[in-house]
Amino acid sequence: MTEFELGHGPTNIRNVVTDSTVHYLVQIGVLNGELHLTVPPRGAAPETPLGVAEERLARSLLYQWRAEADAWDMADPEPLAVRWVHSRTALGPGTELGGRGDRVGTMAGALLELDHRRLLILGGAGAGKTTLAVLLTLELLARRLTRGEDVPVPVLLSLESWDAERVNFYDWLIGRITEEHPGLPRVDGLHPARRLVSERRLLPVLDSLDELPEHRRTAVLGALGRQLGQEGGVVLICRTEPYRELVDTQRDVLRVDSAIEALPLDPTDVASYLHRARQPSRAEAWVPLLAELRSAPDGPVSRALSTPLMVWLLRRGYERAPADPGELVDRRRFPTAWQVEQHLLDRIVPASFPPLPPEPDRLHPPRRWEPDRARVWLSFLARLMNRQESAEMAWWRLFGAPLPRALAAPALIAAGIALSLLFDLVLGAVQGSGHPFGFSSSLGLGVVLAGVVRRAGQAWFGDETATPRRRANPLRFAGALRSAGRTGRLSRAWRLTVVVGGPPAILAVGVFQLLAPAMEGLALVASLLLSAYLMIAMAAPSDTVDAATPDALLRSERTSVLVTVLVIAPLLAAGIELMDWSWDSHERHQVDWAHALAAWCGTGATFLLLSPWSRWLLARCSLALVGRLPWPLMTFLRDAHRAGLLQRTAGTYRFRNLRLQQHLAAKAGAGAAGIPPARVAPDGAAAAGATGGAAARAAGGAGSVTGPVLPPAPPPAPPVRPASSWRGLTVRRSPGSYLLSGRIRGVVLAHWGPIGALLGLQLVRTTVGGTWDRLDSWRPMIGLPALGLLMMLISLLPRRRVELHITDTFVAARWGRRRCRYEWRDVEEVAVRRVHVRGRDTHVHGIHVRLRPGAPVPPARFRGRDGWYLVQPMTVVRSPLPPDVAEALAELSGGRWRP
């Protein structure tokens, strides 16, 4: 890259060469002045293994965020000048820091000079916070890679995936780097993420704090304040109003060195920027709008264009003819800033997918999407993300939509029946005569063994098997085993035992079978062990440095299913046939290929029908049939990303801005999707409602100049009943005591997970095995749910004694036979948190306390996460807490209650 600088008078040519590998640089032309060539020195090549890994990570992140910056139109040679000022309202004194968005280098230098390198970026919705974070990330990476400066590697992450109540911040950071960049060079045989984090060689840049639910924002901010330590640097991004609310109510507040806040854009700067960015052929069309910006700084258009988001919408919506930007100055059509903003949001989808005719001279012209249908598809995705309380759009989560979930069981039955008919033809041709499903025992055994092998992979990798990722190359078996050993969820001793001792054990079983053919089942055991071993190796993450993409994850999952059906399924089928052959060896001396094919049908169908890829296929096809999504969904998402509507990170898509997601969800009938109805602003404008983390309130910009955008109305709260009338519990209150007591019935639900897995296997076995036309084959499908209901009814029979006793000296609880008691002198805080039992998340909340160092520790069953201990689960008390319980905790805990 070269930069030229021309002076006055005699020409002064200055060439600055950065990030180049050229050996010769030739300047051609007539030189009337001086020639200056500057080659900034690059840092010395890293010599240590950790330095090599750090360099590889920095380059991978640079390529990733350069591509995102190009998709977001950030590579403008003359970007929009967003002014950032030091914010005292949410921070206090702090270090004076500010700057302009088009001069990121100065802000990056000021960030590096802060004592702890902790920066808080505030602003309204669409104020350019994420854009500034991306530009800061690119600037820091450029300083490191091209100028040789010793700066930490910035890692831009969304807080969406961090469960602050369950996982330590640094453990989450290590996990994200390990998952997204598994192929970094090893340091002492281990992934370098832990070393990079522990030696403070990374700078986390954390986005989307304001998109989390309120209780998760509180947990995240408190965990950051406690876990960052003295030397941990961080850049935190949040909207101004949610952060102020957190600071006002939060006890553990993250201490930062400085905070900056975006100012509303100056109309004159916006006019100058649009004047530079407009197409020369359409200069006349922009004259009325530019004149309005300069002459009426308080007009609706000027107030609407006070954020970079709206300026980008304006540029994209009116860059092509015959769109006329001058229509926005019509005060009768757009009397308020809110109406201008709504109009710009309405235009962005048609502008991103213009109805242009295909180019006749191209063999494969780019796909053209109909704007109206594209709006329907994007609106459905926005509503689904709101319903799932997520700001991330992942293709494997489409199965969570109501229609695919309702069609899951019928589709599984229909697919099984179709496969059984196909197998009927194939096996009939192989056998030559007779009904092929005389081999139902081989097929059924194949279904069961495939379920066992699939369960082995789940036990090894935990819940990650439900989340597709780039798989290891099965042809590089040694590398796949190393990756499986590094990423397994079992203890290190168990992983080492399985990875190292697995092949000798399998070989020993096979040799013993040859030496002792009378033991018929050893062949089946050997094939089962080898299949489980291969399943673990193929489910391991790929050793690649670059971060995953949605398309790469889908290709990897599809390849994994194909290899499983063509490699592991035949191996299991061979083990079943060898067992049958050894049993009947005295009668027949050749392999019955019909039995082997039947066993392969059972194993292959199980792997295929229960895979994440099949669930994705069901969701995609069903939603496309009803017009909710296009058939080539991934192609559409790629085009929306190139158009700037979506951003892509860590294998998922996100809308460019939460305001855009909320607008699309509201325009397509949010009320029918379970989203609260829109609120009406004083000037008659409607603000879209939302729920959950991804549906957090979208304010219309910084300050009051952005228009009358109101936060959405929360869903109506259920009527509050006193604790004394709830479930028959009674309350006894005195000046220094609160006692909630009674007897209640609980219900057990934990058994439904295994029952659901057994139901899925039985469905595959019945339908694929060809016995779907027999009534007795469906008895297990009725008996398993009946068993689950019976277990629930049995759990309801006993009434358990429940007590919650709060005094000014202690808090105690009882439910059933379990009791606990905590003295207030041993307690630092009391709050409501997620309940974890022996490290497992129960997905319910409960009252917890955090004990002081040296305080008596209760039994392990009460132990939670991060030093918190359980007092009472919400299944006993109520969620949310009854007002009298919260009032008693606030009154009697001595200031320890954190609402």
790 pLDDT above the threshold of 50: yes
Is the CB of residue 108 less than 8 Å from the CB of residue 143? Answer: yes
Q: How far apart are CA 847 and CA 782, in angstroms?
A: 39
Q: How far apart are CA 640 and CA 645, in angstroms?
A: 5
User: What is residue 473's predicted lDDT score, i.e. its pLDDT?
Assistant: 62
DSSP H helical segments within 72-147, as ranges?
104-113, 129-146
Residues β-bridged to residue 653: 393, 648
User: What is residue 811's predicted lDDT score, i.e. its pLDDT?
Assistant: 92
In this structure, the answer to whether residues 254 and 294 fall within a common structural domain is no
363 pLDDT above the threshold of 60: no
Is the CB of residue 716 less than 8 Å from the CB of residue 676? Answer: no
Last residue of a domain, one of 707, 726, 759: 707
**At 438, is the pLDDT very low, low, confident or very high (cuts 50, 70, 90)?**
very low
User: What is residue 472's predicted lDDT score, i.e. its pLDDT?
Assistant: 62
Is the pLDDT higher at 114 or at 98? 114
Task: Pick the most confident of 95-99, 322-326, 512-516, 839-843.
Answer: 322-326
Angle between helices 633-642 and 550-563 (to 10 degrees): 160
In this structure, the answer to whether residues 251 and 331 fall within a common structural domain is no
Question: Does any domain span residue 403?
Answer: no
As a whole number of Å, the CA-based R_g of the chain is: 32
476 pLDDT above the threshold of 70: no
Tokens of 29: 């032309």
Of the ranges 112-121, 386-395, 539-548, 582-591, which one carries the lowest mean pLDDT score? Answer: 582-591
User: What is residue 556's predicted lDDT score, i.e. its pLDDT?
Assistant: 81
Q: How many structural domains are present in the chain? A: 5
> Hey, what amino acid is at 641?
H
Q: Which residue has the tokens 């139109």?
A: 73
Is the pLDDT higher at 315 or at 837? 315
Task: Please state whether the peptide bond connecting residue 322 to the residue before it is cis, i.e. omega within 30 degrees of 0.
Answer: yes
pLDDT in tens, 536-563: 777 776 655 555 678 888 888 888 888 8
Question: Does any domain span residue 873?
Answer: yes
User: What is residue 689's predicted lDDT score, i.e. its pLDDT?
Assistant: 34
**How much is the pTM?**
0.68
In this structure, the answer to whether residues 90 and 229 fall within a common structural domain is yes
Question: Does any domain span residue 639?
Answer: no
Query: Which among 428, 448, 445, 450 is positioned nearest to 576, based on CA atoms?
Result: 445
User: Taking residues 603-629, what's their average pLDDT?
Assistant: 89
In this structure, the answer to whether residues 568 and 441 fall within a common structural domain is yes
**At 377, is the pLDDT very low, low, confident or very high (cuts 50, 70, 90)?**
very high
pLDDT in tens, 246-268: 877 766 677 888 888 888 888 88
Question: What is the pLDDT of the chain when averaged over all its residues?
Answer: 75
Query: Which among 262, 275, 333 is positioned nearest to 301, based on CA atoms?
Result: 333
User: What is residue 706's predicted lDDT score, i.e. its pLDDT?
Assistant: 37
**At 625, is the pLDDT very low, low, confident or very high (cuts 50, 70, 90)?**
very high
Count CB-CB contacts under 10 A for residue 826. 15
Is the pLDDT higher at 58 or at 421? 58
Question: Does any domain span residue 53?
Answer: yes
User: With 0-12 CB in 10 A as exposed, 13-18 as middle and 19+ as buried, what is 899?
Assistant: exposed
Last residue of a domain, one of 681, 707, 733: 707
Instruction: Convert 765-831 into a string of H (helix), E (strand) and C (coil).
Output: HHHHCCCCCCHHHHHHHHHHHHHHHHHHHHHHCCCEEEEEEEECCEEEEEECCEEEEEEHHHEEEEE
- pLDDT over 90 percentage in the chain: 5
Q: What is the CATH number of the domain that holds 196?
A: 3.40.50.300
106 pLDDT above the threshold of 50: yes
**At 171, is the pLDDT very low, low, confident or very high (cuts 50, 70, 90)?**
confident
Long-range contacts of 771-776, Cβ-Cβ distance < 8 Å, separation of 24 or more: 771/437, 771/440, 772/413, 772/416, 772/417, 772/420
In this structure, the answer to whether residues 101 and 9 fall within a common structural domain is no
In this structure, the answer to whether residues 81 and 24 fall within a common structural domain is no
77 pLDDT above the threshold of 80: no
In this structure, the answer to whether residues 233 and 326 fall within a common structural domain is no
User: What is residue 481's predicted lDDT score, i.e. its pLDDT?
Assistant: 66
Residues β-bridged to residue 823: 810
Question: Does any domain span residue 485?
Answer: yes
Residues β-bridged to residue 490: none
According to DSSP, the β-strands at 234-237 and 202-207 are parallel
Is the pLDDT higher at 118 or at 436? 118
User: What is residue 427's predicted lDDT score, i.e. its pLDDT?
Assistant: 66
Is the pLDDT higher at 792 or at 786? 786
Last residue of a domain, one of 247, 262, 277: 262
617 pLDDT above the threshold of 80: yes
**At 491, is the pLDDT very low, low, confident or very high (cuts 50, 70, 90)?**
low
Query: Which among 180, 177, 166, 153 is positioned nearest to 220, based on CA atoms?
Result: 166
User: What is residue 598's predicted lDDT score, i.e. its pLDDT?
Assistant: 78
Is the CB of residue 831 less than 8 Å from the CB of residue 860? Answer: no
**At 308, is the pLDDT very low, low, confident or very high (cuts 50, 70, 90)?**
confident
765 pLDDT above the threshold of 50: yes
User: With 0-12 CB in 10 A as exposed, 13-18 as middle and 19+ as buried, what is 160?
Assistant: buried
Is the CB of residue 186 less than 8 Å from the CB of residue 49? Answer: yes
Q: How far apart are CA 62 and CA 138, in angstroms?
A: 6
Question: Does any domain span residue 623?
Answer: no
691 pLDDT above the threshold of 50: no
Count CB-CB contacts under 10 A for residue 415. 20
In this structure, the answer to whether residues 697 and 603 fall within a common structural domain is no
For 94, the 3-state DSSP assignment is: coil
52 pLDDT above the threshold of 80: yes
527 pLDDT above the threshold of 70: yes
User: What is residue 199's predicted lDDT score, i.e. its pLDDT?
Assistant: 86
In this structure, the answer to whether residues 269 and 251 fall within a common structural domain is no
24 pLDDT above the threshold of 90: no
Half-sphere exposure of 128 (CA within 13 A, CB side): 29
Q: How far apart are CA 129 and CA 5, in angstroms?
A: 32
- As a 3-state breakdown, the chain gives helix, strand, coil percent values, each rounded to 5, of 50, 15, 35
Is the CB of residue 257 less than 8 Å from the CB of residue 697? Answer: no
170 pLDDT above the threshold of 80: yes
Residues β-bridged to residue 202: 153
According to DSSP, the β-strands at 13-16 and 35-38 are parallel
pLDDT in tens, 632-685: 899 899 888 888 888 887 778 888 888 888 888 886 554 333 333 333 333 333
User: Taking residues 271-290, what's their average pLDDT?
Assistant: 85
In this structure, the answer to whether residues 53 and 139 fall within a common structural domain is yes
Query: Which among 316, 324, 313 is positioned nearest to 289, based on CA atoms?
Result: 324
User: What is residue 618's predicted lDDT score, i.e. its pLDDT?
Assistant: 92
**At 697, is the pLDDT very low, low, confident or very high (cuts 50, 70, 90)?**
very low
User: What is residue 682's predicted lDDT score, i.e. its pLDDT?
Assistant: 34
In this structure, the answer to whether residues 247 and 211 fall within a common structural domain is yes
133 pLDDT above the threshold of 60: yes
User: Taking residues 720-749, what's their average pLDDT?
Assistant: 71
**At 60, is the pLDDT very low, low, confident or very high (cuts 50, 70, 90)?**
confident
Report DSSP state, residue 866. Answer: T
277 pLDDT above the threshold of 50: yes
Q: Which domain holds residue 691?
A: 265-355+375-386+665-707
Task: Pick the most confident of 317-331, 540-554, 720-734.
Answer: 317-331
Question: Does any domain span residue 402?
Answer: no
pLDDT in tens, 176-228: 888 788 778 888 777 888 888 888 889 999 988 888 877 778 888 888 888 88
User: What is residue 727's predicted lDDT score, i.e. its pLDDT?
Assistant: 56
User: What is residue 380's predicted lDDT score, i.e. its pLDDT?
Assistant: 93
Question: Does any domain span residue 200?
Answer: yes
In this structure, the answer to whether residues 110 and 242 fall within a common structural domain is yes
